[in-house]
Structure 1
Amino acid sequence: MLSEKTIRGLITTPVFLANANQLAYQLHVSHQDASEELLLELLLHRLRTWTNKDVGIAVQRDLASLKWRVKYARKDLVRQSHKDATRELDKVQMLAGMEPQASNEAETLEALERLRELFKNANTRDWCGSILRFGQKETMVRFNNQTRRQFNNKLTKVCKYARQHRQHNQSSSNAKELELLKEWDDLMADPETSDDAVQLFIDQHGAYIDNIIINDPQVAFQGRLIKNFAHAGKDKYVFANLMAKREQQLKESK
């Protein structure tokens, strides 16, 4: 994910500004809309594998590798604009027709909070926030009288970007969890590991252990397992099996 500082640097480069202007002319949209479309296209495709550091260096050094990616991102958008907009997800279809409802106020507020974490670009955040607050029709009017095609194209890209962000976060979370489980494996592999050492591990990762055993009928006495591992009886072995099962699930999902 790019930082807000890196994004500001990217969208103020001469090559980005020139291609955004050309895109606005080719698609008959405002410069602001063209800039947002171009930025999203870069984040989703041409710069998808670049790190924040990669982009920062390319901006500072005015690298040709960045210039041609910006140019071809614009070309991709122009090519896409001549095709019928298709919605990739059922969720996109639902969101496109969503209108604000008083009964969903809590969900709306939660979604608005998440927008701040998800989108570094303020205008994209405002656009998504407008959908959540006011619905599709008013958002199209508020943002330069967008056409239905423009709205749907942008919505598809935003949802795709959000999905990729979630997948990235999930991948990072899984990696951290596997590290914790590797620590557990090392503990179990050591013949000198005592019940006290296991108890220390449980105490250090209490929230995680709770999540592993909660509501699992195989663990007869969950409280005793957490607080007094040495006297947990057969639950010790059930717990070890649950940890091994969780590790296998994570490895298979990679």
Structure 2
Amino acid sequence: MLSEKVVKELISMPCFISNCNRLAYQLHMSQKDASQELLLELLEHRLRLWSNNDVTLALKRDLPSLKWKIKYARKDLVRLSHRDATREHDKVQMMAGMEPHVSSQSETLEALGRLPELFKNANTRDWAESVLRVGQRETLIRFNQTPRQFNNKLTKLCKYARQHRHQQPNSNTKELHILSEWNDLMVDPDTDDNCIQAFINSHQDYINEVIINTSLIKFQGKVLKDFAQAGKDKYTFNELMHTQYIKLEQELKENK
């Protein structure tokens, strides 16, 4: 367990503060709550095996490894939040007598992103976002509804969404989301080989497809399992991902 002094130094880091602010924005919570959640996540997981000396040394040397742990602790919290919201969404669908739709994290994020396109009415949009983010119980309180009113509204909205699904782009959305994440990673000055390896591990099926379908990468296993030691293939892989992003973005624009 880290000492109080080291904890105070940790939460005073510019990197910790910036990730705390972003977490507060992403999960719609206060900065104070975001700071507490991020600190607990770090202490219980990412920094669980770090001693006071380890953290103090990383602070003094401004090591990227510590910044990386803070950044991905925030990402862990966001991912867990969306996973819990998805579970709640499935539950309320079942309450409404519907077949639950098993969504991945990326699909839930896509759903939230598409709300402004699907529902033009601000109140309807806010209600749907509340269901996805916090579930039935909190939504009932926020919108002063009875369970019957909630279920009726959910049934109508799901019917409307199904009828308008053909208007929503879906063929390449997941791929574009992955490639956008990659671009964000590449422009982040704190990104190192460990960050890239974590990204590859999170999207291994897609990355495997990218490198299998090219003869430009000589040692595919290195890129997948040991990116830091992949040599020139690291730069080739970066170019492939960037090229694929530009190509896919252009295709989506042309199909609009």
**Short-chain TM bin:** 0.3 to 0.5
TM-score, L = length of structure 1:
0.33
Structure having the higher Rg:
1
Greater RCO structure (CA 8 Å; 6+ sep): 1
